[in-house]
Chain A
Amino acid sequence: MFKYLKQLTSLVAMVAVLFTFTTESMAAKKSKTLKNTQKKGFVRCGVSQGLPGFSNADAAGNWTGIDVDVCRAVAAAVLGDANKVKFTPLSAKERFTALTSGEIDILSRNTTWTLSRDADIGLTFVGVNFYDGQGFMVRKSSGITSTSQFKNGISACTNIGTTTELNMRDFFNSKGIKYEPVAFEKADEVVAAYDAGRCDTYTTDKSGLAAQRTKMSNPDEHIVLPETVSKEPLGPVVRQGDSVWEDIVRWSLNTMIEAEEYGITSANADMMKTSDNPAIKRLVGAEGEMGAAFGLDNEWNLRIIKQVGNYGESYKRNIADTGILPDRGPNELWTKGGILYVPPSR
């Protein structure tokens, strides 16, 4: 009898320990995510399964892209080294679950900021690193030069689980066109099917179209139609409930954009410490206590600029120089006719 009693007690004790462990970890500490990240020594970042310009791995497994640079900026700020990032490639379908379940800490995967995503599913969008819009790609030989030439019966290839699927319906419905949606789970399969002639048009965000076009067997045979049928502000996402971590990611991105505004680059960041402009000095950690509120040191933003570069450098390196979208369009600074405008670091 006592034997079993002992077993029972140890079992109960074990369960009790498990419970206290969870309840304790639930208690709002300063930032659980920041603490865990510093303990692990790397930032856990969810990216796409390969979208040139945004997040794409080369043959050696090195990730590049403007979405990748957001995670690298956070790593530079938090860990002091922009390379201390563990990238997890995710499909559109998996991405939010991976974030809410705690498998990754930042989702930087050309994700559209919408009301329902922000409000419903335990996510918080921290900003916009690319202003995009949905468009259509067709074969040049089809002679189609505008979406107004679309006719009943057109088949459209796209990804499942994206805002694209919803916008497509809104678009075709508003035009009164009957269409055949062919939705794949992975972008590579969408491209393969469209390339083979399964679909008359391929629809996704215009930056995505431009990037995927480079993967087609003959990119020159395809054109992206001029119309933009939706607003797609893409940006990094974090889990709800850790406002410090949220702020770190938000201000890492803001730092990159503001650095471009003030002309601070990875090359001249150190020299800017002696600038006469206090706004510049704050951005390179030479004035004020800009890191204390996050639990970081004062040079967190300097490290971002030195190791990753400002937004303009990141854009040029990843999107302009690779020939995806040489023209920055709306993704130009507000001072140069674009809509990139971030709150001041002060």
Chain B
Amino acid sequence: MNFKLKDIGPQLLTVIAVVLVFGFFTYNAQVNMENRGIDFGYGFLSQESSFDVQFSLIEYDGSHSYFRAYLVGLLNTILVSVIGIVIATILGVIVGIARLSPNYLINKFAAFYVEFFRNIPLLLQIFFWYFAALRALPLPQDAEAMFGIAFLTIKGLYVPAFIWQNFNIFFYSIVAAIIAIIVIRYQAKKLQETQGKQTPVLLISIGLILVLPLISFLIGGVRLSFEVPVLKQLATTSFIYEGGVSLPPELIALALSLSLYTATFIAECVRAGIQGIGKGQKEAAASIGLTPNQVLKLVVMPQALRIIIPPTTNQYLNLTKNSSLAAAIAYPDLVLVFAGTALMQTGKAIEIVSITMFTYLSLSITISLFMNWYNNKIAIQEK
């Protein structure tokens, strides 16, 4: 009896203390809100928001609900995070490998990039790209056309819009190409394992992904035309581009600074992963006659990835959470739209902050789960 109490007692007390502390805070908040006449509830989500948002992936204006405004902010957060993660990963891998290059210039340049960008606070970098770099961009009427079709101006990047005819046929051709590639890869692997024959899988894959969509253009009736942005005058010195697609400078500045910053950390993960593979592994692989490419692809990378993935997952999470700095430069992300404007207009601080926190938590857990699944997939499978 005594023994048991000694075991359970402290734990029980801790649980009780935690419950009491939470209970106290909840009670305190309730009493204070009641005293000051603040209602608690999520009913406001269905009310009309009556504010507009600069940039939205779904149809939205002030006549939609606060919930719709929440979705707008969430999608914008996801958009900038996905763009940031893709660019940061590509850049990070390149720089990470470059840091191991025997070429002195490439090596030092990569090292300089990493040390420079990871040691300056992210918010400063965002301000730099938005305010300093933005000021250097031309006004719409002075912008030089890039390739005659795109315009980079202080009001944003204007690119041509794709106008498709029979887009679904084009889409199916891409899907068909991807399925074909998967089948061929599987067959090639089987062929190699049973007969030791090598198939040029990469060349065949590239061929397929180019040829099938091409056929859809030639005989499938798919047509693609471009809508090029056209300069329009609003007032004597005030212009914009109409038509095409416009990317707001806020999105460009935020995606750029997030990826440049996070890429430095990913580069270090990649470098650590590759350097973590013993020299003997490479020598052993070379001694059984593998080419340098095969050594990298079949021996080094599969092992290095296991070291690279977990810390890189952290960087993806950081990038997603750092995207909330968007509020500083007017990119309408979840924090600016929902925890900013919507919070202000409704005054529902506790409700909105709790929803926002829960949303970031869910986003982060989703990324974690996916990366864990991927990490498990590439882990050593003992046979």
Contact = CB atoms under 8 A, between A and B. Distances in A.
A7 B238 contact: no
B236 A143 contact: yes
B50 A166 contact: yes
A196 B134 contact: yes
Interface in B22-36: 24, 27-28, 31, 33, 35-36
A144 B330 contact: no
Contacts of B13: 4, 7-8, 11
B242 to A, nearest CB: 7
A149 B235 contact: yes
A11 B17 contact: yes
Interface in A163-198: 165-166, 168-169, 173, 179-186, 189, 192-193, 196-198
Contacts of B349: 97, 100
Given A22-B31, A153-B242, A196-B154, A100 B36 contact: yes
Given A151-B235, A183-B332, A1 B2 contact: yes
A153 B232 contact: yes
A154 B242 CA distance: 11
A120 interface: yes
A31 interface: no
B238 A181 contact: no
Contact of B347 (A121, A141, A184): A121
A57 to B, nearest CB: 21
B290 interface: no
A160 interface: yes
Contacts of B343: 93, 161
Given A18-B24, A182-B330, A241-B36, A200 B154 contact: no
Q: Which of B5, B36, B38, B62 has the most CB of A within 10 A?
A: B36
A186 B330 CA distance: 10
A271 interface: no
A142 B327 CA distance: 29
Given A93-B340, A183-B54, A155 B24 contact: no
Contacts of A173: 62
B301 interface: no
Nearest to A8: B13
B296 interface: no
Nearest to B36: A122
Interface string B341-355: 101111101000000
Contacts of B236: 141-144
B299 interface: no
B249 A198 contact: yes
A198 to B, nearest CB: 6
A198 B134 contact: yes
A241 B327 contact: no
Contact of B336 (A150, A160, A196): A160
Given A189-B328, A198-B134, A166 B24 contact: no
Contacts of A182: 54, 248, 250, 330
A240 interface: yes
Contacts of B232: 153
Nearest to A186: B328
A155 B155 contact: yes
A248 B111 CA distance: 63
B36 A185 contact: no
B37 interface: yes
Nearest to A195: B135
B310 interface: no
B82 interface: no
B113 to A, nearest CB: 27
Contacts of A26: 31, 35
Contacts of A213: none
Given A160-B340, A198-B154, A165 B38 contact: no
Given A11-B16, A169-B50, A200 B238 contact: yes
A7 B134 CA distance: 62
Contact of A189 (B2, B36, B329): B329
A184 B337 CA distance: 10
B238 A144 contact: yes
Given A11-B13, A11-B17, A153-B242, A144 B235 contact: yes
B234 A153 contact: yes
Contacts of A4: 5, 9, 13
A197 B340 contact: no
Given A7-B13, A11-B17, A151-B235, A93 B332 contact: no
Contacts of B31: 22-23, 26
Given A15-B24, A26-B31, A169 B155 contact: no
A35 interface: no
A198 B38 CA distance: 39
B139 interface: yes
B51 interface: yes
A182 B248 CA distance: 10
Q: Which of A139, A162, A166 has the most CB of B within 10 A?
A: A166
A291 to B, nearest CB: 27
B237 interface: yes
A150 B236 CA distance: 12
B238 A139 contact: yes
A239 interface: yes
Q: Which of B27, B37, B38, B344 has the most CB of A within 10 A?
A: B344
Interface string A118-137: 00111000000000000000
A169 to B, nearest CB: 5
A92 interface: yes
A262 interface: no
B240 interface: yes
Nearest to B29: A101
Contacts of A54: none
A181 B60 CA distance: 13
A257 to B, nearest CB: 28
A30 interface: no
A177 to B, nearest CB: 10
Given A93-B344, A189-B330, 7 more contacts: A11-B20, A100-B38, A151-B235, A155-B155, A155-B240, A168-B52, A179-B52
30 contacts: A11-B16, A18-B24, A19-B24, A19-B27, A100-B36, A121-B347, A122-B347, A141-B236, A142-B238, A144-B235, A149-B235, A155-B240, A157-B330, A161-B344, A162-B344, A169-B61, A179-B52, A181-B53, A185-B328, A185-B330, A185-B336, A185-B340, A193-B134, A196-B134, A197-B154, A198-B134, A198-B154, A200-B238, A239-B36, A240-B36
